[in-house]
Structure 1
Amino acid sequence: MVKLRNIYHVIFRLLVCLFVWSYITAVGGGNQALASSYKPYVADTILTRIFRSASVYAEEVGEYKADLYLKGRLQIHKQNKIIKYVPSMFRFEKGINDYIHESISELHYTAPNIYDRKIRAVSTTFTGGNSRFFDILEFMKFNIYAPSLMEDKLLSPLNEQSSVHYYYLLDSVDYWKAGEVYKIRVIPRYRSTQLLEGFFWISTKDWTIRYLDFRGKYDLIRFHIAMRMGEAEDTKYLPQLINLDIIFKFLRNNLEMNYTGWLKYDEVIFKKKEEMDLLLRKSRKYNLSNSYTLTCDTTQLVQDRDSFARIRPLPLTDWEDSLYRAFDERRWKERGDTLPKVETKFKKNLVYMGQLGDALISSYNVDISKVGNITCSPLINPLLVSYSHRNGISYSQEFKYNKLFHDGRLLHIVPQIGYNFTKKELYAKMDAEYVYNPEKHGSIMINVGNGNRIYSSIVLDQLKQTPDSIFSFDGLELDYFKDVYLNLSHNIEILNGLTVWTGIAMHWRYAVNGTPEVAERVRLRYNSFAPRLRVEWTPGMYYYMNGHRKINIGSRYPTFLIDYERGIKVMKNFGEYERFEFSAEQKIRVRDLHTIAYHIGGGFFTNQEDMYFVDYVNFANRNLPQGWNDDIGGTFQMLDGRWYNASRHYFRGNMTYETPFLLLYPVGRLLSFIQKERIYAGVLFMPHLNPYVELGYGVGTHLFDFGVFIGNEKGKFTSVGCKFTFELFNR
C-alpha cells in the first residue's frame, strides 16, 4: 500500500503540473497566435449568419452524380530502403523519382455521407502496389458546411459548436461577379490534428463559400487543399475544381503528391433534411442499395494510353507528358532485353524471393485467379505486439484466405497464431466460414483452437467458503487445465437485423500437471458436448445489396444478444451444465467527433450438480493482441485473469467516451500529435467483488495508443497499470 500511495502522489503532482502548464500555454499561446496579425476579428453578427447558413446548406444536397477526373503527380524528394517496407505503399522503380497517375470515375453521393466511386479509366506510370496515404477519396468527402470533414477526422470552422476552437479574422473585402465577398482567415486556438488553418471566401449575397484554401495534418500526412465551388445554381454548394498537395514524411523519407481534381455534375438533387427524415419514417425501408455499387468493374476498365487520351478532360503539361514518354522508353528497353533464358529465369527468381522477403515486414496480398485471395499480416511488425499490466507482452500473426464466387458465395479462412511472452503460452486457432446464401447471411462456420488455461468448477466451492476479508487467489490450490475447442455452427438472418446462430460447442480439457497428487483431487481429463443457440438483434439495420451479397451498414439502435449453451452427457467424461449470457451494446455519436460507446451484459451457469468449467463467451480473458477499439473499451484491463472463471454469475457494464479535446488540448504546442482522448469506466458485480470498478484515461495517436487504468475493489484502490499498442499504419 505504501508503494501504491507513492504512485498516487506522483500522478497527482503530474496532473497539477499539467493543468498549470495548460493555463500558461492557453493564455500565452493564444495571444502569440494573434500577435503577428493586425486584422480585425469577424463580427459576431457575421459569424452568426455564416453558422446558420452552413447548418442549412449542409443538408441542402440530397444526392448527386458526377464525372470525376483526377491527376496526381508524385515526387520523391528523399527516400531510403525503409519506404518499401511501409504497408500500403506504392512500389517504386529504382532511380525513378517522378510518377504520374490519372483516373476517370463516376462519383455518386447520397446524403448524409455515402460516397460511391466507380473507376472507368486509369493511366499511370506506377509499376504496382497502391497507397492509402495518397488516396484522394477521403478529401473528396469534404462537405465544408458539415460539422466534421473527411469522414469525421476534422472539425469544420463553419460549424458553430466547433467555432470555440478557432479564431476568425476579416482579412479583406472583395467584389466578385457574385457581389461582395468576405475573405476570412481561420486560425486554430491551439495545435491539433483535428483543426484546419487557412482562408475561405464567402459571398454576402447568400452566405455560400465561393473558394477555400486550408492546411492541415493528420497521421503522417500534411495536406494543403484548395477548392473552387460551382458557379451554377445547382452546383454552388459543391466543389468543381480541387487542388490538393500531400506531403508524406516518415523516417527520413519525403514524398509529395500534387493532385488536381475536376468534377462535372450530371445530376444534382436537392432535398431538405425535414423532407428526408419524413420520407424515411414513412417508408421504414433500410435498403440503401441505390447509394452503393461496385467500386470498380475491371471487365470494362480502360487502361490503354491512347484510349485514355481521347477522354481526358484536361490537357497534360509538357513535364507530365515527358513522364509518360520516359516510362514508355523504360518498358521498351525491358521488352528488348536479349538476356539468355537462364539469366532471365534467375532474375525472376530473385524478384520472387524479394517479394517473399517483403512479406516478412509488410502486409502481403496475393490474388490468385480461380483460386482466391491470400492476405498475410507482416511477420515482423510492431502492430502485432502489445503490452498490458495484466498480460505483459504478447504477439500474434494472422493469415486470411478469401474466395468470392460469381454468385456472391464466399469462402473465408483465417488461421492465427500467437505467443504470450509473460505467461510463456502459445496459442493457435483457425476460423473458417462458407457463406452459401449471401442474401440472408446464411453460412456454415468452423472454429478450432486452444483457449486459455482454466480451472474447474470444483474451485468455486472453495471460493464460496473463503471470507472476503482473507480472500486471495495466491492462497488457493488451483489445478489448471489446457483447453482445445471445436465449434460447428450455422448462421442465418431470418429478418433484417435478426440473426440466429445454432451449433455445437465441444471442449477437450486435460490437466497441466498430471501428477498423482492432482489425480487424487480431480480427473485429469474432462470433455464437453453442448448444443448452442445464439440470437442477435439490431433493430433498424441499414444495408445495401452488392450483387447477391447483403452488406449491413449499421443502425441507430443498440444490438441485443442472447447466448444459450447446454452441456449434455454423451460419453463417460462428458459433463452437464447450462450457460446463459445476454448483452446490449451501442456506439452513439454525441456531436461532431465526440462518441460514447457502452456495453452492458451478464451471464450465469445453472444445473450445477455435475463438474463443469466456468467459461463465458462474452466475458473472457484475452491474452493476445486485439485491436484497440475492439479490446480496450469492452474489457477490464486491471482485473486478474483468474476472476473470469471464478463465479457462476456476473453482471458488467463498460463505457468509453472519446473526444479530440478533453484535457490536453491547451498544451497542443507540445502534444499536437494527439488525435483522440478517451475516458474509460467499467463496473463488475460478482462474489468477492461487489463491486469491482475500473477507471482509465487514454490517448490515441497515429503512432500508438496508450492508456492508464486504476482498479478499485469494494471501495479500495488495489492496482494501477497501463496498456500500450502500436497503431502506426493500422488505421
Structure 2
Amino acid sequence: MKKYLLLIIFLTGSHLLALAVPVTGTVKDNKGNLLPFASVIVKGGILGTTANNEGKYVLNLPAGSYILQCMHVGYKMMEKEVTVLQQPLQIDFTLLLQELTLQEIVIGDGVEDPAYEIIRQAIKKRSFYKNQVNAFQCQVYIKGQLRLQDYPATIFGQKVDFADGDTGKNKMIYLSETIATYSFQKPEKEKVEVTSTRVSGQAEGFGFGSPRYVTFYDNNIQISNALNPRGFISPIAENALNFYRYQFMGSFTENGRLINHIKVTPKRSYEPLFSGYINIVEEEWRIHSVDLMLTKRSQMELADTLRIEHLYVPVSKDVWMIHSQVVYPAVKMFGFDAKGSFVTVYSDYTLDPEFDKKFFSNIILAYDTGSNKKPRAYWDTVRPVPLLDDELMDYLKKDSLEIVRRDPRYLDSVDRRKNRFTPAGILIFGQTFNRQSKKSSFSYPPLIEITNFNTVEGFNINLGPTYARNFTENRSVSITPTVRYGFTNRHLNADVATQYTFGKWRMNSIALAGGKKVFQINNNNPVKPIVNSYNTLLFGSNYLKIYEAAFAEILYTRGVGEGTTIKANISYQDRMPLENTDDTYWGKAKNITRRTPNYPVELVSENFQRHQALVAAFTVSYRPGTKYIQLPERKINLGSKYPMFTVSFAKGINGLLGSDVDYDRWKFSVKDDINVKLAGMFDYNISVGGFFNNRRLEIPDYQHFNGNRMLVATEYLNSFQLAPYYARSTTERLYATLNIEHHFNGFLTNKIPFIKTLNLHLIGGANAFVVNKNNYYYEAFGGIENILKILRIDYVWGFGNQGFQTSAVRIGFRGGFGGN
C-alpha cells in the first residue's frame, strides 16, 4: 500500500509541476545595457524572482492572467499584462532611469534641506516597522559567486595553483546555490532549513546557506564580525542625524505612492557609516529601497568595498518585506584581486504563522539529509535566477574535474607535484604533505621551532612530526612521535601522542600519550622556548625551568549536551630534576647577572628530589544558549551570547603506583567576549580556585600564575604580562584571578588625523590575582593594535606585594579582531 501511495504523490507532484509555465525574459535599460539582479514580481501577489548578472529572469506561473512588475533600484518600475496558457512566454523589459521630480528649493539662510525632515519622519517610524510583524516565514534562494581578476604567481614562497588546469588570471573561484526556508519569531528566534545546496567543484559540498536577514530598520547593522564587529550605523538609526548628511535628490511615483530619493553622505570619514542612496515612501515613511556602499573609509576590514542593494515589496495591505538583497564585495589583498556578488531572493512570505513550541531550538541552520546530493535536472527546475553561461560551464568543468579527482592515480599525481620541500617551509612555516587518495597527511614543524637553547640542555632539537588520517567525516586519528636531544647534557627523550576523534553529532575524542619527556615546572608552558632562546643567548636570562619525566596519560573528551563538554584525564609522571650545564652567552654586556638555577629560586632554595605523581582530573564546561549548524552527519558549534562556565577538579592520588603526592585542587572560571557594537569588544576571564587539601605537593603541582618576563606578550586573557613566573605560586585554600581588556576597534582613534587612516585601534585593560594580603599582583595596560593587521603593542604597569613595581612594553601578534 505504501508504494502505491508514494506513486500517487509522485504523479500528483509531477502534474502540478507541469502546470507551471516558464515566463522568461531579459531586463535592459533604454540604452540597451543589461540590468543585473532586477526584480520581477506578480502585482498583488507573493510570487516573484530576480534576474541574474546578465538581466535574464525565469518566473514559473500557473495558467492565468497576471500583471508583472519589473523593478530595479534607480529605475522606473514597468508593468506588463500577460496571459499564461500552455506555452512558455518571453516577456522582456526595458526600464527607464527614474525620473525625479525636484521642486525648486533654496537652501541657506535658515532653510533646511527637505531630506532632513523626511529622515526624521523615517526615524520616528523605524521602531514600528522593525516590530510590525511578530513572526514570518519565507522561501529563500541564495546564489553566491566570487571571481578572481588577478592573482600573484607565488605567495610566501609557495606557488599559487588552483589545480584546475587553468592558468588564466580571470577565473571563478567560488560558486554556490542554496534553497531554504527562513523562519523568524520575535524577539530574535531564527531558523533556516536548507532543502537543497550545491558548490561548484565539491560533489557533496554545502553552499552558503545563511540568508542573514539584514534590515536597515536596525540601529546597528551587523553584517559580519570579520568586516567590523562594531557594526555599521543605519541611515535611519535613532542617532543617525549625528553621523550623516542628507540631500533631497527628488521624488518619483510608483503604484500611486510618492517615493523620496535621498542621498546619504557620512559627516566624517573613518566612521562605520554607509554612503549612497535610500528611498523613503512619502507619508508612510517606510523604506522602499536602498543602494548603499561601505569602503575602507567606513572602517571596514578585509574587503575594499561592499555594496548593498535592498528592494522592499508589499506582501499584504500594510506590510512590506525585503524581496531581494544583493551584496557586491570587492577584495584586494596580497596581490589577489577578486569581485563577486551574493544575491538573496525572498519569496512566498507567510505572516504570523503558527510555529510549534519546539520549532525554534539551538539549531539555527539545518541542512536536510540529501540536500547536497540533488541532480542537475532538479536545479534546472527550481532555480529562480538563471545561471550565466560561464557559471554553467564552471559547474560542468569542476564537477567533471571532481570525478577525475576521485581517481587515486590522479590524486597521487597531484600530491607528488605539491608535496615538495621548500626553504620557507623548512625554516619558517613548516609543511604538510597530503595523500588525498588515502585521506592522510604528514606534517612537520619549522626549523625555528625545532631548534632551541636553554641552560639545561644547551642547544637542543625537539622534532615532532604528525601523521593524520580521516576515515570518515566523523572519524579521524593522529599520531605524533617526538624525539628530543640536548647537545650539552646529552639526554635523549622520546614520547608518542595519539588522538582518535569520533562522534556523529558531537565531536568526542580519546587521547593517549606516553614515553619520556621534558616538561616545564609550570605544565601550562608559560615560557615560549623560541623566545627564551633569544633572551638567554643575547641577554643572559634563562626563565625556562624544566624537568624530565617518564610519563603516561589518557584524556577523554565528550560532548554530553547542548553547550556542555566534559573532560576526564589521568596522568602518571616519574619526575626527575635537571641542573644547568651550559652558560653560552652571545651578548655584548660584560657584567651578566649569574644565571639562576634550574628551579624557582623565589619558592625554594634547592631543586626537588625525584618523585612520582599520579593525578586524576575532571572538567565540565557549559555555555548556555549555544547555537549550532546541523549538517547531515555532524554539528558545528557557533558559540553563544552567554558566558562559558568551567569547573575543574584535580586529585593527587597518594600511594597508588608509588605516587608521592596528596592534594585536592579546584577551580571555577567564567569567560566571555561581549560585543558592545560601536563602543568595541569587551573580553573577560574571571576565576577562583584553591586547594581543599595540600598535604603533599611538589613544585609542579602548585597553583602557578602564568607570568611573563620577556618582550613578547603571552596569552592575553590567561596570563600576567609583567608578573614573575613563580614568585607568587601558591598552595593556599583560595585565590582569585581577573583578566579584562577592551578592544575599541576604531572607536576614538577614528577621530585622530593620520591615525585613523592607518586604522589603528586602542586597547586597554587590567589583570590581577589575589591569594591574600601578603600575596597579590595587579597590572594595567594600554596600547595600540591592528598594526599591519596583526601586531599589537602595549605599555604595562605592574604592582605587587613587598613593594613590587615595574613597567615595560609588550609586543603581541594580534589584530583588532583576532586572537593571540
Query: Smaller-chain TM-score range?
Result: 0.5 to 0.7
Q: 1-side partners of 2:367 and 2:813: how far apart?
A: 34
Q: Structure 2 matches for 1:258-657, cutoff 5 A?
A: 259=341, 261-270=343-352, 287-289=361-363, 291-294=364-367, 297=370, 300-302=373-375, 304=376, 308-309=379-380, 311-315=382-386, 320-321=388-389, 351-357=414-420, 360=425, 403=470, 410-411=475-476, 413=478, 430=497, 432=499, 434-435=501-502, 438=505, 444-446=510-512, 453-454=520-521, 480-482=546-548, 486-491=552-557, 500-513=566-579, 521-522=606-607, 524-539=609-624, 553-555=638-640, 557-567=642-652, 568-572=654-658, 574-591=660-677, 594-605=680-691, 607-615=693-701, 619-620=705-706, 631-643=715-727, 645=729, 648=732, 650-657=735-742
Aligned to 2:276: 198
**Unaligned residue ranges in structure 2 (runs of 5+):** 1-106, 451-461, 485-490, 524-539, 582-596, 600-604
Q: 2-side partners of 1:100 and 1:571: how far apart?
A: 58
Number of aligned residue pairs: give it: 630
Q: Contact between 1:173 and 1:180, CA under 8 Å: does it hold in 2?
A: no
Identity of aligned residues (%): 13
Say whether residues 1:684 and 2:769 are aligned partners: yes
**Unaligned residue ranges in structure 1 (runs of 5+):** 1-36, 337-343, 385-394, 420-424, 457-473
Aligned to 2:338: 255
113 and 444 in structure 1: CA distance in 2 versus 1, 3 angstrom threshold: same
Q: Contact between 1:399 and 1:415, CA under 8 Å: does it hold in 2?
A: yes
More off after superposition, 702-711 vs 446-455: 446-455
Task: Look up the equivalent residue of 1:225 and give its one-letter code.
Answer: R
**Match of 1:662, SS?**
coil
How far off its partner does 1:455 sit? 7.5
Say whether residues 1:674 and 2:759 are aligned partners: yes
Say whether residues 1:54 and 2:126 are aligned partners: yes
Aligned to 2:20: none
Q: 2-side partners of 1:346 and 1:551: how far apart?
A: 33
Say whether residues 1:186 and 2:247 are aligned partners: no
Aligned to 1:725: 813
Q: 1-side partners of 2:562 and 2:400: how far apart?
A: 55
**Match of 1:292, SS?**
strand
Q: 2-side partners of 1:293 and 1:539: how far apart?
A: 20
Q: 2-side partners of 1:106 and 1:404: how far apart?
A: 30
More off after superposition, 444-453 vs 557-566: 444-453
> How does the TM-score come out when normalised to structure 2?
0.61
Q: 2-side partners of 1:143 and 1:611: how far apart?
A: 59
286 and 561 in structure 1: CA distance in 2 versus 1, 3 angstrom threshold: farther
**Match of 1:353, SS?**
helix
How far off its partner does 1:199 sit? 1.7
More off after superposition, 166-175 vs 685-694: 685-694
100 and 488 in structure 1: CA distance in 2 versus 1, 3 angstrom threshold: closer
Please give the per-residue CA displacement for 1:350-372, whole angstroms capped at 9, x wherever unaligned. 64233224995799796968x76
How far off its partner does 1:632 sit? 1.9
Q: Contact between 1:583 and 1:601, CA under 8 Å: does it hold in 2?
A: yes
Q: 2-side partners of 1:525 and 1:191: how far apart?
A: 65
Q: Which one has more relative contact order, counting CA pairs under 8 Å at least 6 apart?
A: 1
Q: 2-side partners of 1:284 and 1:243: how far apart?
A: 32
Q: Contact between 1:454 and 1:482, CA under 8 Å: does it hold in 2?
A: no
Please give the per-residue CA displacement for 1:678-727, whole angstroms capped at 9, x wherever unaligned. 32221222466533223233423682141303132137650212232165
Task: Look up the equivalent residue of 2:324 and give its one-letter code.
Answer: L
Please give the per-residue CA displacement for 1:385-436, whole angstroms capped at 9, x wherever unaligned. xxxxxxxxxx999979575868xx65565869999xxxxx999995735445
Q: Contact between 1:80 and 1:252, CA under 8 Å: does it hold in 2?
A: no
**Match of 2:419, SS?**
helix
Task: Look up the equivalent residue of 2:347 and give its one-letter code.
Answer: Y
Task: Look up the equivalent residue of 1:288 and give its one-letter code.
Answer: N
Q: 1-side partners of 2:543 and 2:175: how far apart?
A: 68
Say whether residues 1:700 and 2:771 are aligned partners: no
> How does the TM-score come out when normalised to structure 1?
0.68
Say whether residues 1:148 and 2:221 are aligned partners: yes
**Match of 2:717, SS?**
coil
Task: Look up the equivalent residue of 1:209 and give its one-letter code.
Answer: I
**Match of 1:513, SS?**
coil
How far off its partner does 1:228 sit? 3.6
More off after superposition, 193-202 vs 81-90: 81-90
**Match of 2:304, SS?**
strand
345 and 230 in structure 1: CA distance in 2 versus 1, 3 angstrom threshold: closer
User: Going by fraction, where is helix more abundant, 1 or 2?
Assistant: 1
How large is the RMSD of aligned CA atoms in angstroms? 5.7
How far off its partner does 1:174 sit? 1.0
Q: Contact between 2:786 and 2:814, CA under 8 Å: does it hold in 1?
A: no
Q: 1-side partners of 2:267 and 2:804: how far apart?
A: 40
373 and 51 in structure 1: CA distance in 2 versus 1, 3 angstrom threshold: farther
Q: Contact between 2:152 and 2:336, CA under 8 Å: does it hold in 1?
A: yes
Q: Contact between 2:705 and 2:720, CA under 8 Å: does it hold in 1?
A: no
Q: 2-side partners of 1:383 and 1:50: how far apart?
A: 59
